[in-house]
Amino acid sequence: MAPPDKDDPHSMSLGSIKSHSSSLSSNRVKHKYVGDYKLGHELGSGTFAKVVEGTHKDTQQRVAVKIISKSKILGQTLEKVVRREVDIMLKLKHPNIVRLFEVVQSSNNIYMIMELVIGGDLFELVNTARKTTNTGIPEDKSRNLFQQLICGLHVCHLQGIAHRDLKPENLLVSSDGCLKIADFGLANIQKTNEYLRTVCGTISFVAPEVLIEGSYDGFKSDIWSAGNVLFTMLSAQFAFPHPKQTEVVEAIKAVRYTMPPSIQPNAADLIRHILVRDPDQRYTIADVVQHPWFNVEGWDSTRLQAASAEPQPG
């Protein structure tokens, strides 16, 4: 996890996190509670946090609870990163973005109570397709997932939020096929006519200007990452699959990749217009949704028009 951009010290105030130190307890069967939620089995873990399943004691609503150890982040730059992540997620309410319902804290931990997505992530879907068909996710399904990704990303950008780490592992897909953007740990607020500076993200999906320039437009780099994800969905390959990180970086800077023959011409054309070195020449979301591969029968353009009515940051 990278530190916050020096040019944007935006972070969440302490007042936005509710203190529930007395609500963390154990009952006779040793179930722990955070607020109204009973904590269950672990779903995943990392260096600074773990995620467990939770259940609301009254409604039985199932949620995902991200537990962040204060001792591992307080007094560090990571504290600002966590608070910024919380602040950003509380702004975002859309079917294609993982919802953050509430944030509480005990004396030892911060608990992010989030929407639980029953299914898996896009990386798992791609791997399953590769193992069964030796290629990527079928084109129609890939298109539907990409349309959902663009809808969620559009809402992020309207709210002035650059995700900065779009990749298959950070895109959750429910059992009924609903894609949701997750993990806003590297996200940042980008105001009009301002730029970001921190080099961050996952190398294979990072835009060239992030690696080359001293500053970059996070919205345009997100579009690159989304196009890169589309490439992987359709082919079950990375666009820049070199064994050494230095080789990956050089290939991205030069935009040196090979379009697999399994990707159909229309989809390949869209990808070529997104994976463009110059961010000013790269397709925007407005361009993407007008492309014939994306804008097919059944696509409801009002999904973006409705999002456009949301208030934008100053």
Annotated catalytic sites, by residue? Answer: 165
Separation CA 226–CA 234 (nearest Å): 13
Answer for the pair 186, 2: CB distance below 8 angstroms, yes or no.
yes
From residue 97, how far is each of 93, 105, 271 by CA, in Å?
7, 23, 23
Decide: 236 and 168 in contact? Cβ < 8 Å: no
Is 66 among the annotated ligand-binding positions?
Answer: yes
Q: Among residues 7, 32, 66, 13, which one has the least CA distance to residue 193?
A: 7
What gap in Å lies between CA 66 and CA 50, rounded to an integer?
6
Contact 242, 254 (CB under 8 A): no
CA distance 88 to 100: 10
Binding site, annotated residues for ATP: 66
Binding site, annotated residues: 66
